């Protein structure tokens, strides 16, 4: 048994991160033979991508995927800790699984992901969710076969969570959710320690993957026909800071662009690490999509300081306008937290003012959620829940207005769209994303799915646009 320890998770050692190759030991190869699995994923793209590795590992063990958890032999929850809401959802699901397990005692239940890295969560599972068979964390996903084997053969609750990140594991198997767009990890962990955020504890210290390994993966994806890669990390702009070869995100973006993959996206960016070189590279290459997610979190300098964000409102705005000037057609989206401890109506108004200046193309807005172990969770807060809800409502009104306004400006133009799928109910109704990352619906044949085609925009809505096919051969 190996339990999470926040003290260790918080520390940042200088030991060098090594590369390790994933190999599945022979003795585990048949433990899932004839059995089915279901993985429920909560949280961000990082977790979604981990699930792609987890699914492939389970299939190497002989399991096959089932589309409902009620009929599966193994149910694994890949959890998220970012806000209480995600936490509650996972525990709600565990409640349902408890009933299922009473009916079917052979059901195997596992918990992994960010919540598994939390001391309090693991204690709760040990004390009140004894039916959970196994738990592993974000640093030892590659140990899934061993952990599962132990829990089955020792007939006990097996808990193995590393508190400190280990090496970077290369060549993990992957079962991608999509056959034309793919996630590629470029950096793990985060060293920023924004005071509200649990991620530096659950995902460990910043570790970049070697550029050669990333390029190898992208080239393989190209040979398999992939059209789009999203380079992933908690803070992709810190890419390379821990490497000895002096590469940064701008170098990596340039090299990935040169592979010729039609579309490159990256997320998430911290404004503090965004350099001029990065902006120049994004502007220079047509296959780097002109769409940047740039979380601002607050428009008040006092709150930004309390959040430990390392930039001022003015610095954010300078960067924002520089991007808009230098990158043609760029869209910028953001994340905003309202109701951070001690936030006053004046602080909140500064956030609204900033939104009015930036007119964001998209945004995710949240009410502050105290996370155990983080610095912000200790700040006394006397704003009522009602007041916070009200601020969120007011902020969303302003944000939504700009989404619609920006979409209206697109009407009449022709944009490249990667067709992602069809709306199940209507056979001819396709959807996809523009290069600027706007969801678009239009009529067309399902044979277009997976292709990049020009679409003319006909109507604007708040969260999407409508369009029609342009009679032209596809760009592909």
Site residues for ligand SF4 per CB under 6 A: 43-44, 46-47, 80-82, 113-114, 198-199, 202-203
Do residues 247 and 280 lie in contact, with contact meaning Cβ atoms separated by under 8 Å?
Answer: no
Among 38, 201, 368, 433, binds ligand 5AD (CB under 6 A): 368
At residue 150, φ and ψ (nearest 5 deg) are -60, -45
Residue closer to ligand 5AD by CB (options 51, 369) is 369
266 binds, among ligand 5AD, ligand SF4, none (CB under 5 to 8 A by kind): none
Give whole-number Cα distances, 55 to 74, 160, 370, in Å.
12, 19, 32
Nearer to ligand 5AD, 209 or 371 (CB): 371
Please report whether residue 113 would count as binding ligand 5AD according to CB under 6 A.
Answer: no
- Would you give the binding string for ligand 5AD spanning residues 239-278, x where CB under 6 A is met? ----------------------------------------
Select from 147, 171, 1 the least CA-distant residue to 76: 147
Nearer to ligand 5AD, 159 or 190 (CB): 190
Cβ within 8 Å of residue 291, ≥6 positions away: 265, 330, 331, 332, 333, 361, 435, 436, 437
Binder to ligand 5AD among 82, 90, 419, 460 (CB under 6 A)? 82
Beta strands in 330-402 (DSSP E): 331-338, 362-367
From ligand SF4, ligand 5AD, none, which one binds at residue 202 (CB under 5 to 8 Å depending on kind)? Answer: ligand SF4
Residue numbers 296-325 binding ligand 5AD by CB under 6 A: 297
- Give the phi and the psi of residue 98 in degrees, each rounded to 5: -60, -45
Question: Least Å distance between CB 196 and ligand 5AD?
Answer: 4
The DSSP secondary structure of 70-133, one letter per residue, reads GG-SEEEEEE--SSHHHHHHHHHHHHHHHHHHHH-TT-EEEEEEGGGG-HHHHHHHHHH-TT--
- Collapsed DSSP state (helix, strand, coil) of residue 286: coil
Measured between its terminal Cα atoms, the distance across the chain in Å is 52
Interface with ligand 5AD, residue 295, by CB under 6 A = yes
Which two tokens mark 172? 């993990």
Q: Which one of the spans 143-151, 300-308, 363-371, 438-446 is the region binding ligand 5AD (CB under 6 A)?
A: 363-371
User: Given the complex with ligand 5AD, which of 208 and 269 has the nearer CB atom?
Assistant: 269
293 forms part of the interface with ligand 5AD (CB under 6 A): no
CB atoms within 10 A of CB 237: 22
Binding stretches for ligand 5AD (CB under 6 A): 82-83, 196-197, 295, 297, 335, 337, 366, 368-369, 371
């Amino acid at each position: 048994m190996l339990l999470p320890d926040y003290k260790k998770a918080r520390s940042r050692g200088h030991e060098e991160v090594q590369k390790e190759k994933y190999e599945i030991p022979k003795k585990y190869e048949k433990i899932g033979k004839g059995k089915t699995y279901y993985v429920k994923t909560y949280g961000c793209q990082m977790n979604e991508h981990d699930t792609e590795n987890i699914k492939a590992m389970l299939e190497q063990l002989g399991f096959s995927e089932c589309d409902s958890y009620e009929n599966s032999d193994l149910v694994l929850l890949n959890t998220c800790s970012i806000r209480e809401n995600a936490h509650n959802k996972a525990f709600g699901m565990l409640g349902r699984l408890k009933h299922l397990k009473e009916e079917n005692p052979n059901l195997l239940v596992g918990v992994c992901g960010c919540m598994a890295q939390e001391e309090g969560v693991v204690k709760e599972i040990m004390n009140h969710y004894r039916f959970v068979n196994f738990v592993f964390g974000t640093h030892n996903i590659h140990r899934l076969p061993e952990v599962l084997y132990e829990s089955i053969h020792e007939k006990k609750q097996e808990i193995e969570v590393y508190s400190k990140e280990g090496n970077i594991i290369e060549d993990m198997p992957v079962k991608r959710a999509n056959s034309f767009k793919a996630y590629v990890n470029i950096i793990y962990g985060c060293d920023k320690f924004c005071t509200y955020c649990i991620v530096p504890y659950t995902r460990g210290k910043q570790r970049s993957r070697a550029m050669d390994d990333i390029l190898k993966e992208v080239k393989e994806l190209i040979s398999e026909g992939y059209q789009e890669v999203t380079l992933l990390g908690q803070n992709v702009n810190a890419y390379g800071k821990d490497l000895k070869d002096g590469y940064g995100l701008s170098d990596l973006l340039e090299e990935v662009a040169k592979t010729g993959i039609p579309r490159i996206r990256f997320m998430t960016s911290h404004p503090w690490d965004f350099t001029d070189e990065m902006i120049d590279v994004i502007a220079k290459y047509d296959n780097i999509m002109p769409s940047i997610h740039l979380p601002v979190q607050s428009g008040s300098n006092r709150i930004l300081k309390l959040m430990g964000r390392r930039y001022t409102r003015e610095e954010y705005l300078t960067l924002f306008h520089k991007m808009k000037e230098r990158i043609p057609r760029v869209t910028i989206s953001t994340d905003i937290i309202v109701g951070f401890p001690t936030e006053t109506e004046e602080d909140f108004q500064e956030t609204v003012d900033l939104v009015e200046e930036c007119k964001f193309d998209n945004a995710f807005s949240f009410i502050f959620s105290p996370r155990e172990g983080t610095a912000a969770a200790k700040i006394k807060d006397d704003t009522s829940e009602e007041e916070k809800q009200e601020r969120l409502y007011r902020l969303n009104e302003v944000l939504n207005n700009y989404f619609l306004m920006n979409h209206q400006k697109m009407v009449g133009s022709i944009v490249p769209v990667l067709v992602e799928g069809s709306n199940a109910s209507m056979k001819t109704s396709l959807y996809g994303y523009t290069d600027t990352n706007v969801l678009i619906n239009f009529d067309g044949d399902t044979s277009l799915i997976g292709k990049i085609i020009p679409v003319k925009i006909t109507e604007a809505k708040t969260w999407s646009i409508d369009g029609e096919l342009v009679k032209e051969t596809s760009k592909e």
